[in-house]
Chains A and B, each alone.
Chain A
Amino acid sequence: MALNFLTSSKQTIDVVVTCDSEVSSTTEQRSAYLSSGDLGDLGEVGENATRFTIKALSPSEREEAEVKAGAYSRSELGRMLWIEAPSDHSERARWHHDLSDDERSAMSQYQAYLNRVYLEMLRGGLTHINGEEASVEQVDMIRPDSDRLTVISELVAHIQRISLLGVEGK
């Protein structure tokens, strides 16, 4: 169940990422952990698992992240297409294949904007790694690249969960 948000932008929580070699979990456990943030939902979490400390964003921090990422110059056509895109992978691929070059370009611009928003949200929300002050640049240095992307997407999912009310909260 949702309702896992924080009321203060000064509050922090510690999270781990599921691609950490110290964490072993099933797909269901990963999904449950991402929506609850409760370590008990994960399988086994080793003592040496990397702990990321994150905070909830205040309205001004959230706005700042969006503006820095280019909220005023993002492609609105791309945004509209991104919302319209089918969720089924196969259907989505066929739908994307039928787009014009302009529409494909608009959609990729919007996707790039979203990626920038995620990085900016991480910049505003990540405070410490294993108890030491951290920056988004440290996360950007994680290799292999697949792990870097997993870490960014999971940390952003946690930051969004604690910063936003969510559907159930409403």
Chain B
Amino acid sequence: MAASVWLGHSGSRAWSCEQCQAKKGLRALRGNCGGPFKRGLPLAQQDDQGLYVLGYRVAPDCGEDFSDLEIRSCPVAGANRLASIIQAYRRHRAGLATIKETYPSPSCALLEAVDVLHSNTEEAIHRAQERAMKEAKHGN
């Protein structure tokens, strides 16, 4: 869920479907859109649960919590599977439709998902504002 925010925030530096389309064999190494990572994936590390890639490798310009997260399957595929929730949150944020209108009887998981989206989106906005201020200060 958090990945959907940071992938967008990191832009072209983040993992994307275009990279798999452009580089032969990369999609398989990245688990074919949702499966576990395969041996040979660049920058992957291993523990007793299998291969993982740290959050900052997936989305270089990410928040502190996401940075150290051990990502074990393609976050782009994960974000695609959660697209309906992400869209509902964006509509809610834009004032077009409330979460309650889209999901009249939300489960605990849905509310948790919206919480995670909201806190990470706020962090991303804050990060972008901070950067803009720094750049303005240094005249870039």
Contacts and interface: CB of A to CB of B under 8 A. Distances in A.
A57 B107 contact: yes
Interface in A31-88: 56-59, 62
B2 interface: yes
A165 B73 contact: no
Contacts of B81: 3
A53 B81 CA distance: 24
Interface residues of A, number: 22
A113 B34 CA distance: 37
- B contacts with A: majority SS: helix
A150 interface: no
B72 A162 contact: no
B2 to A, nearest CB: 6
A18 interface: no
Contact of A6 (B34, B107, B116): B107
A127 interface: no
B111 interface: yes
A11 B103 CA distance: 11
B82 interface: yes
Nearest to B88: A7
A interface: dominant SS: loop
Interface in B100-140: 103-113, 116
A7 B107 contact: yes
Contact of B108 (A1, A3, A56, A170): A56
Interface in B69-108: 72-73, 78, 81-82, 84-85, 103-108
B78 A3 contact: yes
B11 interface: no
Interface string A7-31: 1111100000000000000000000
A165 B112 CA distance: 6
B124 to A, nearest CB: 16
Contacts of B35: 1
B110 to A, nearest CB: 4
A5 B85 CA distance: 12
Nearest to B66: A170
Q: Which 8 A-B pairs have the closest CB atoms?
A: A5-B109, A56-B107, A165-B112, A7-B110, A10-B105, A9-B107, A165-B109, A9-B105
Interface of B: 1-2, 34-36, 72-73, 78, 81-82, 84-85, 103-113, 116
Given A8-B110, A170-B116, 9 more contacts: A8-B103, A8-B107, A57-B108, A58-B105, A163-B108, A165-B113, A168-B73, A169-B1, A170-B112
